[in-house]
Amino acid sequence: AQTVTQSQPEMSVQEAETVTLSCTYDTSESDYYLFWYKQPPSRQMILVIRQEAYKQQNATENRFSVNFQKAAKSFSLKISDSQLGDAAMYFCAYRSLWQNTDKLIFGTGTRLQVFP
Amino acid sequence: NAGVMQNPRHLVRRRGQEARLRCSPMKGHSHVYWYRQLPEEGLKFMVYLQKENIIDESGMPKERFSAEFPKEGPSILRIQQVVRGDSAAYFCASSPSLAGDQETQYFGPGTRLLVL
């Protein structure tokens, strides 16, 4: 069974600085999807970025980018030019491509604090 | 295009009562997923449905929990004879039926269930 691990329960960053959130996963599959979701205090789950495992190029969405290391099964999220609105829980998630299910497997989350 | 709608947003029940949670997917989406988030934890998959079919219910407790997604109307997650341990946030997500973007799940705001 696949697992997702986020080893940093909490992280903090100064406004305008860069922070990297870690995520590792375990799978025997070769093709899958990886996601980062943000959960602000409102508790709404917001998609931040997604990566297809068959793509070597790292995904980028404005200030958010990933470092996808397939061999190491690592999928870290980099937030550049951090803003106060980036403060939230961040969840890494895995989805199998081949199993007959679309379920997401989530990590336990990293709480990001942004200081002015 | 309205997002995923969930109601009620907050639900209080006494032990032994029934809880009914509703989810209306985004327009054009025919795949619905239910997740549960216990306090200070990540989201855990419960069930995946398409119209009138349960595709994967591997995360559903065997007793008291049921889900449906009828041809017309919202998806319903029903919890019978609630217990205090059922207190959690229940999130619904939906995805399109078209290939290509089916991998991304869009989440609703969640229903916070409190069992007294």
pLDDT above 80 (res A73): yes
Contact list, A51 vs chain B (CB under 8 Å): none
Continuous segment of H or E residues that includes residue A8: none
Q: What SS3 state is found at A111?
A: strand
**Dihedral sign, CA of B95, B48, B82, B36?**
negative
Residues forming a β-bridge with B6: B23
Spatial distance between the Cα atoms of B110 and B10, rounded to a whole number of angstroms: 9
Q: How open is the CA angle B110-A77-A15, to the nearest 5 degrees?
A: 90
Say if B76 is an interface residue toward chain A (CB within 8 Å). Answer: no
> If chain B, 116 residues long, is cut into consecutive pieces of 10 residues, what is the mean pLDDT of each piece?
88 97 92 91 92 91 95 95 96 79 82 96
Token digits for A37?
């979701």
Summary mean pLDDT of chain A: 93
Under an 8 A CB cutoff, do A35 and B104 touch?
Answer: yes
3-state secondary structure chain B: CCCCEEECCEEEECCCCCEEEEEECCCCEEEEEEEEECCCCCEEEEEEEECCEEEECCCCCCCCEEEECCCCCCEEEEECCCCHHHCEEEEEEEEECCCCCCCCCEECCCEEEEEC
Q: Read off the pLDDT of residues A39-56 as tens digits, 9 standing for 90 and up.
A: 998 888 999 999 999 888
CB-CB: which of A44, A47, A106 is closest to B104?
Answer: A47
In single-letter form, the type of residue at position B48 comes to Y
Considering only the beta carbons, identify the residue of B44, B55, B109 that sits closest to A44.
B109
In which band, very low, low, confident or very high, does the pLDDT at A19 lie, cut at 50, 70 and 90? very high
